[in-house]
Structure 1
Amino acid sequence: MLPVCLQVYEVVVMRSGSFDSHRVSVERRYSDFSLLHHDLLAEFGGELEDVVLPPKLLSGNFSADVISKRRLALQDYLARLYATRCARHAARFARFFTDPEQKRAHDLLRGGRFTLAAQQLQSVLELEEKLLPWQHPALSVPTLAALAVCHRDLEEAEPAFAAAQRALPAARRYGLKKYRAALLELLVDLGYQLGRPTATLQHELTGLRDAERGEATARSLKEIVVQNFT
């Protein structure tokens, strides 16, 4: 049996509209592009009629010249998607760049490999920060929450507090109740450890508990995080 050649393409993500010298990249196969295209067509239909995914290569046609042309064609495909407003703002578009890495990070977290998980999550966060100009501002909340859990379990209170603190404003503003209560609970606990003022956070948490009759704080942040990206 002949070996199967699976071509992997490097996708470099840069912040649009400004000088961005920090290189962040992911690796994707043609099947990833195909799934993205299928999902976006199912969501937006005719709005993407002018955006054509390059056809699949014939089996065994993996010469350097063909691969180079395919790379440029996929680059042009992503550029056309980005130029289409509905696709650029679609959650599915963002997940194309982050989902495999998120799943890998959360698998590491669930396995108790918190240092490796935190490193992977930091890379995801860098990707999300480049996507945020055209994505929903709450995009990074699950990543920051997972980072807070990793640092907490590594007994790194300062970075855990910082990650949770960054996630809280978006959780408040966009009604992410399960995250808001769990983040507040973690911040109050870590705040006591670090000698930070926690009265305002405790007051907010108490008010949320009273309003939701305890439902909003039924799970810890770690319990929420471990169920993500399964």
Structure 2
Amino acid sequence: MSFLKKFGQRSRERAFTDRANREQDPDSVLADDDDRDPFSVNITGTLDLTIPDDESNNATTPTYDAQSPHLLPLNVDPPGTVHVAFEVTSAEVIKDQRSSYVLYTILVSSSSGVERLPTTVDRRYSDFEKLNSVLKKKHPHIMEDVSFPRKLLVGNFSSETIAHRSRSFEQYLSHVFSVYELRYSNELAAFFYLNDAKEGYSLLCSEQYLEAISLFEKCLPVCEKLYGGGHLRVVSLLHALVVCYHAIEKLNKAQKYAEVALKSTNDPVVDEPSIALIKLSIRLCWSLGKDKQDLEKRLQELKARKINVDNVPDLKDIVKLNTLV
């Protein structure tokens, strides 16, 4: 059995109790890899919302400033109530015509009840290094005590180097994520998923819905693991998927994502995206022959509270103005 396969097995078998006993060595000198293609994204895992293709049917928004972490949007869990863990489960040496580098597979797991499928991201040293650099520049006082594995000119691919660096990356991400200002920063979001989300919204605006769906469904699981199902960034991705599936007349999938988004959006929070989602969900249920009485009642309750639901833009127009990326 090759070292990389053995290393992957050993990584998966490491217990969380073992990780708690590890100590970061600030003087460790670890290997570097080539600094090419930073933030290349490979995210796996999707919500369990699969619906057979043959079930398809033919028939100015408030914003949340992700840089203001004292604002808790929707029903996002307060800091410290949800445990998110990061584990390097495998490392693979990638060789091409020009150079070689190590690709680390990071398992993101959460205690928030969204563990339907494993969620992993693939990152290389240069990705971690860029994250560390931008965080140190933007949050110098917070980052001054955060250890990061240094570069090494030789011994790049030794088993000891890869194993040591893997543990260091686990501890680094855990440390960064434990700090509230860093946890909700755009920099950490970019490391995990945000670049793909931006591309997805661009594709949506240009009506390339299938390509946008592919990116949104890669972003959604990791975003949900990081922030919990009620965070506004998660709900925004759900809205985008509703719009995309509705546009290509996959109404069952659009309704399913809408149902998840509605459960994540709790009163008394009322905004234009939520109202637009209710109105679109009513139309979807009507087209699919599903019960829409609860949704209609919810809309009438909003009207009884003197909330103007008639002049709210369509969800598609709201999503196109998305500022959460």
Interval containing the TM-score (normalised by the shorter chain): 0.7 to 0.9
Corresponding residue for residue 64 of structure 1 = 157
Which residue type is aligned with residue 64 of structure 1?
Answer: F
1:183 Cα offset (Å): 0.8
Query: Is 1:33 the counterpart of 2:128 in the alignment?
Result: yes
Query: Is 1:147 the counterpart of 2:241 in the alignment?
Result: yes
Which residue type is aligned with residue 260 of structure 2?
Answer: R
Change in Cα spacing, 1:78 to 1:213, as seen in structure 2 (3 Å) is closer
Corresponding residue for residue 307 of structure 2 = 211
Shifted more, 147-156 versus 86-95: the winner is 86-95
Shifted more, 92-101 versus 32-41: the winner is 32-41
Match of 2:299 among 181, 186, 202: 202
Corresponding residue for residue 101 of structure 1 = 196
Contact 1:36 1:96 in 2 (8 A): yes
1:143 Cα offset (Å): 1.0
Contact 2:112 2:225 in 1 (8 A): no
Output the TM-score relative to the length of structure 1.
0.73
Report the RMSD for the aligned CA atoms in angstroms. 3.8
Matches within 5 A, 1:160-199: 160-173=254-267, 175=269, 177-195=271-289, 196-198=291-293, 199=296
Match of 2:317 among 206, 220, 223: 223
Aligned identity (percent) is 26
1:181 Cα offset (Å): 2.0
Which residue type is aligned with residue 63 of structure 1?
Answer: N
Change in Cα spacing, 1:176 to 1:57, as seen in structure 2 (3 Å) is farther
Change in Cα spacing, 1:112 to 1:80, as seen in structure 2 (3 Å) is same
Cα distance in 2 between the residues matched to 1:206 and 1:169 = 20
Change in Cα spacing, 1:35 to 1:150, as seen in structure 2 (3 Å) is same
Contact 1:40 1:87 in 2 (8 A): no
Corresponding residue for residue 129 of structure 1 = 224
Contact 1:171 1:179 in 2 (8 A): no
1:116 Cα offset (Å): 3.6
Query: Is 1:159 the counterpart of 2:256 in the alignment?
Result: no
Cα distance in 2 between the residues matched to 1:21 and 1:32 = 27
Task: Please list the CA deviations of residues 93-140 of structure 1 after superposition, one character each: whole Å capped at 9, or x if unmatched.
Answer: 34532212312333443343323432332232221332245x863341
Match of 1:74 among 163, 169, 179: 169
Cα distance in 1 between the residues matched to 2:308 and 2:112 = 42
SS at 1:225 equivalent: helix
Contact 2:127 2:191 in 1 (8 A): yes
1:71 Cα offset (Å): 4.2
Contact 1:52 1:77 in 2 (8 A): yes
Which residue type is aligned with residue 213 of structure 2?
Answer: A
Task: Please list the CA deviations of residues 12-66 of structure 1 after superposition, one character each: whole Å capped at 9, or x if unmatched.
Answer: 2122599x684322233445434433554466553443212334566xx683129
Which residue type is aligned with residue 154 of structure 1?
Answer: I
Which residue type is aligned with residue 219 of structure 2?
Answer: V
Structure in which a larger fraction of residues adopt strand: 2
